[in-house]
């Protein structure tokens, strides 16, 4: 009779095996890619022209630069915030050609000729946009880090509802969409507020929607 099989696996053995497999895989992938494409390295930088807040801005960026970093690091427009840098928090929301996007998920080189609007272009302390004023009036922030993204999204949420674009919570797709708490909450769900100012943010957006009806 054969001896019982020992299924116990020592942690060190597992880690060593996993590392070796990963290294082998990486080497193989690199080799295969080089063989199959025969690609040569392209230019590492690109010059793009963006219209930012109505002003034409030309900049030369590393091709890997996100739109968010181009705005913050190249153009010193630091109102657009970097929260997660992974498309999960909405702090980096700005508008491109009139649509809200997460600028951390988009490369600057993809936006040559595009119109970008950041929080700086929406209003200034002495001449605030109605949504900015409503956030102030309703205390729609605490630390304020998420606020530029919240305001950018909030303005677009009202436009999107009025344009008849349905959301996950829209009931009747044939009727005019009402600007309800549920619609606003759903459409703002990509903008995270770690301070939890959601109730006040909702109040601010509702006020602007009612005043602009």
Contacts to ligand FES from residues 88-107, by CB under 6 A: 88-92, 102, 104
Helix (H, G, I), strand (E, B) or coil at 27: helix
Question: Quick check: 121 binds ligand FES (CB under 6 A)?
Answer: no
Interface segment toward ligand FES; rule CB under 6 A; list 38-46, 115-123, 139-147, 165-173? 139-147
Interface segment toward ligand FES; rule CB under 6 A; list 118-126, 156-164, 180-188, 189-197? 189-197
Asked whether the beta carbons of 149 and 91 are under 8 A apart, the reply is: yes
Phi, psi of 69 (to 5 degrees): -70, -35
Contacts to ligand FES from residues 52-91, by CB under 6 A: 82-85, 87-91
The smaller minimum CB distance to ligand FES, of residues 52 and 201, is found at 201
The smaller minimum CB distance to ligand FES, of residues 84 and 178, is found at 84
Q: Which residues contact 14 (CB under 8 A, 6 or more apart)?
A: none
Burial of residue 61, with CB atoms counted within 10 A of its CB: 0-12 exposed, 13-18 middle, 19 or more buried = buried
Please identify which residue in 50, 141, 157, 158 interacts with ligand FES, judged by CB under 6 A: 141
Q: State the DSSP string of 138-199.
A: TT--SS-SSHHHHHHHHHHHHHHHHTT---TT---TTSPPP--HHHHHHHTTTS--TT--HH
Question: Quick check: 194 binds ligand FES (CB under 6 A)?
Answer: yes
Phi, psi of 115 (to 5 degrees): -100, 120
Nearest residue to 46 (alpha-carbon basis) of 115, 116, 110? 110
Asked whether the beta carbons of 211 and 138 are under 8 A apart, the reply is: no
142-181 mask for ligand FES (x: CB under 6 A)? Answer: xxxxxx----------------------------------
Could you tell me how many residues of this chain bind ligand FES (CB under 6 A)?
Answer: 23
- Least Å distance, CB 54 to ligand FES, is 23
The smaller minimum CB distance to ligand FES, of residues 167 and 198, is found at 198
Question: Quick check: 119 binds ligand FES (CB under 6 A)?
Answer: no
For 32, 167, 189, the CA distances from 137, given in Å and listed in that order, are 59, 28, 22
Residues that bind ligand FES (CB under 6 A): 82-85, 87-92, 102, 104, 141-147, 193-195, 197
């Amino acid at each position: 009779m054969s001896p019982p099989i020992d299924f116990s696996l020592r942690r060190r053995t597992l880690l060593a095996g996993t590392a070796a497999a990963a290294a082998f895989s990486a080497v193989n992938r690199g080799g295969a890619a080089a063989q199959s494409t025969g690609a040569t390295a392209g230019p590492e930088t690109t010059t793009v022209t963006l219209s930012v807040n109505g002003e034409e801005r030309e900049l030369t960026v590393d091709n890997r630069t996100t739109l968010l970093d181009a705005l913050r690091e190249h153009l010193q427009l630091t109102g657009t915030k970097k929260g997660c840098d992974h498309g999960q928090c909405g702090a980096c929301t700005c508008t491109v050609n009139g649509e809200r996007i997460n600028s951390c998920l988009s490369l600057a080189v993809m936006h040559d000729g595009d119109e970008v609007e950041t929080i700086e272009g929406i209003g200034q302390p002495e001449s605030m946009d109605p949504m900015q004023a409503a956030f102030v009036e309703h205390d729609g922030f605490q630390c304020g880090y998420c606020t530029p993204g919240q305001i950018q999204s909030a303005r677009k949420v009202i436009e999107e509802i009025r344009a008849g674009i349905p959301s996950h919570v829209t009931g009747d797709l044939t009727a005019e969409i009402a600007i309800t708490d549920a619609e606003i909450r759903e459409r703002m769900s990509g903008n995270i507020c770690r301070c939890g100012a959601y109730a006040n943010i909702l109040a601010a957006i509702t006020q602007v929607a009612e005043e602009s009806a």
